[in-house]
Each structure stands twice: as structure tokens, then as C-alpha cells.
């Protein structure tokens, strides 16, 4: 059901983490009637204050919803929320459309879609990119796999959370594109971290250096938005290092199935594992710069 003259359909949102909570808040700000659920129930409270209803479990959240949004940590969490004893399948009516904003393996998305279809439920894999900044601004890039008719049904909602919506084919295609995205993130963040470490040790005025290089061939989102944080040794959360490592595992597994080596990705994954072991997994991916040890920007 899309937006019509009578307004929004009822929507459920399960998973209120760093991305899910601001996405749900944007839906509420747009006037969407929203029911929310999160495993840690206290995360529901700020959204209740904004007008959301709370549900005791995913089944209850889905019971009256035409669309159910998921934004969860990994494959296991998505399977449990959808298919567990108090999962979405237990409460959703036939015809309900599930939008999965989580990043999971493409094969998991395809398998889940098949199971859900057996219950009369439709499914789109809709992973997003843009970090917490994009989630707060409603400017995420949404990467979609699934039936084009289901996408059109979901498009009004997706336009609230995303600044751009791209359809790439059947279920699983969105997750494949997200894997490519995470490979690019790995390389760009690692390159910026290396460049900052080298520039500081060369005694360069790095703020000026970054400003000069942003407009040239070395320019990137990571350089523009994360170099300053790396130089300051501060890592405000855009996307957790440990979650990026999880996503890289998906990309590396896809490459391995094709007999393709991703040496840069493999090296970044090893750096991330080392930093996670040191307790930095909850920091932003820009914490990759910690691998180079402490340094002080001379500027």
C-alpha cells in the first residue's frame, strides 16, 4: 500500500540502533503511523516520545502493519526476528511487505524471501549506505533487490529515509551492491588513514593539505568527512568498525566463491580484527588510523 489521499499505511520498525533509530524518527516526522520494537526495550522510549507505539515483540509489531522495516545487526538477527517464535511471520497478515535495511549475505536474503513467500509475505532487500549522518538527514542511499512492483509500493516510505533509491534486480541484488560498497569503504578509509599518518610524520600542515587534495584526484568522501576526525583522534560514530568487519566478511566470501582475491580488502580486514581485539570495535571505521599508533598533528 502506498501513500494515498487517506494517508500513510501502518508501518512497523524493528531494530533501533545507530541507523534504525534516526530512520524511524524520520518516518514519524513525516507523519507515518509507526510501531517500534527493539531487543533492548529502552531504545524504544525516545521514539515513543515522538509518537510511536511500542510492541512487546516483532510479531506484535507486525500484527497491524502493511509494511515492516528491519534494521538489524546480521543474518542471525534477521532470521530470528522474521522466523523466530515471536517473529514477524507469527504476526504479519498475508500481503505484508518486509523491507530489510540490514546488511546480510545475498544468499540469506534470497532464502528468506522464499520462506516468506510461502507465508504470503513479500520481501525487498534494501541495505543502505551513508552512515548515521545520512540516516539523521534522511539522505541514505538505498540499494534495492526485489520485485519492481514491491519497490513501487515501498517507494514513498523509502523516499523518507533515502535521498536516492536504486533498484538492481531480484532479491539479493541490493546486498551484492552493498558488498561492493563496503570494499570501496575499506580501501578509501584505509588510504586516508595511511595518508594522515604519513603527512603528520612528515611535519605537514595537514588541515591545509587535506583542503588542497579534496578537489583533486585523491578526493573522496572519506577524505572530506573523516580526515579531520582521524587527525584529532576522535571517532564520532558514522558506522561501527566491528560492523564493517562483518560486512567485509560478506564481500570476501562472495569473492572467494568466484575465485577472486581481494588483497586490499583482506589487509583491511586484518587491521580491523587487530583493532577490535584491542577494544575499538564500537568506534567509527575511521578508527583504522589507530593502527598507526598515537601521533599529533603539528597544525
Q: Could you list the active site residues?
A: 178
Strand order in the sheet with 97-100: 53-54, 34-37, 11-14, 67-70, 97-100, 122-125
Closest-CA residue to 15 (of 128, 155, 178): 128
CA 125 to CA 143: how far, in whole Å?
8
User: 237 with 284: CB under 8 angstroms?
Assistant: yes
CA 114 to CA 167: how far, in whole Å?
19
How many C-alpha atoms does 239 have within 13 Å on its Cβ side? 24
What is the grid cell recorded at 5? 489521499
Could you tell me how many residues make up the chain? 299
CA 140 distance to own-chain centroid:
9
**For the chain, counts of helices (H) and of strands (E):** 13, 9
CA angle 78, 102, 194 (to 5 degrees): 130
30, with CB counted inside 10 A (0-12, 13-18, 19+), is: middle
**Buried b or exposed e, range 202-220, using 16+ CB within 10 angstroms:** eebebeebbeebeeeeeeb
Amino acid at each position: 500500500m502506498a501513500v494515498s489521499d487517506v494517508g500513510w499505511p501502518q508501518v512497523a520498525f524493528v531494530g533501533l540502533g545507530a541507523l534504525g533509530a534516526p530512520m524511524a524518527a524520520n518516518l514519524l516526522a513525516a507523519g507515518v503511523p509507526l510501531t517500534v520494537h527493539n531487543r533492548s526495550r529502552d531504545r524504544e522510549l525516545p521514539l515513543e516520545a515522538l509518537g510511536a507505539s511500542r510492541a512487546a515483540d516483532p510479531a506484535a509489531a507486525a500484527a497491524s502493519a502493511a509494511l515492516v522495516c528491519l534494521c538489524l545487526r546480521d543474518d542471525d538477527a534477521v532470521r530470528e526476528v522474521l522466523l523466530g517464535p515471536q517473529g514477524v511471520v507469527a504476526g504479519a497478515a498475508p500481503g505484508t511487505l518486509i523491507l530489510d535495511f540490514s546488511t546480510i549475505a545475498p544468499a540469506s536474503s534470497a532464502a528468506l524471501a522464499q520462506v516468506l513467500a510461502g507465508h504470503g509475505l513479500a520481501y525487498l532487500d534494501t541495505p543502505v549506505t551513508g552512515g548515521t549522518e545520512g540516516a539523521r538527514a534522511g539522505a541514505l542511499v538505498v540499494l534495492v533487490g526485489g520485485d519492481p512492483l514491491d519497490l513501487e509500493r515501498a517507494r514513498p516510505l523509502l523516499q523518507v529515509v533515502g535521498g536516492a533509491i536504486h533498484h538492481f534486480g531480484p532479491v539479493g541484488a541490493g546486498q551484492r551492491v552493498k558488498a561492493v560498497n563496503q570494499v570501496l569503504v575499506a580501501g578509501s578509509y584505509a588510504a586516508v588513514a595511511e595518508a594522515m599518518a604519513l603527512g603528520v610524520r612528515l611535519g605537514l600542515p595537514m588541515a591545509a593539505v587535506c583542503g588542497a587534495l579534496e578537489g583533486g584526484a585523491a578526493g573522496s568522501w572519506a577524505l572530506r568527512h573523516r580526515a579531520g576526525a582521524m587527525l584529532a583522534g576522535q571517532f564520532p560514530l558514522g558506522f561501527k568498525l566491528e560492523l564493517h568487519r562483518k560486512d567485509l566478511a560478506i564481500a570476501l566470501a562472495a569473492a572467494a566463491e568466484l575465485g577472486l582475491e581481494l588483497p586490499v580488502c583482506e589487509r583491511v580486514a586484518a587491521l580491523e580484527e587487530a583493532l577490535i581485539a584491542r577494544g575499538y570495535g564500537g568506534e567509527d571505521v575511521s578508527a583504522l588510523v589507530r593502527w598507526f599508533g598515537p601521533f599529533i598533528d603539528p597544525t
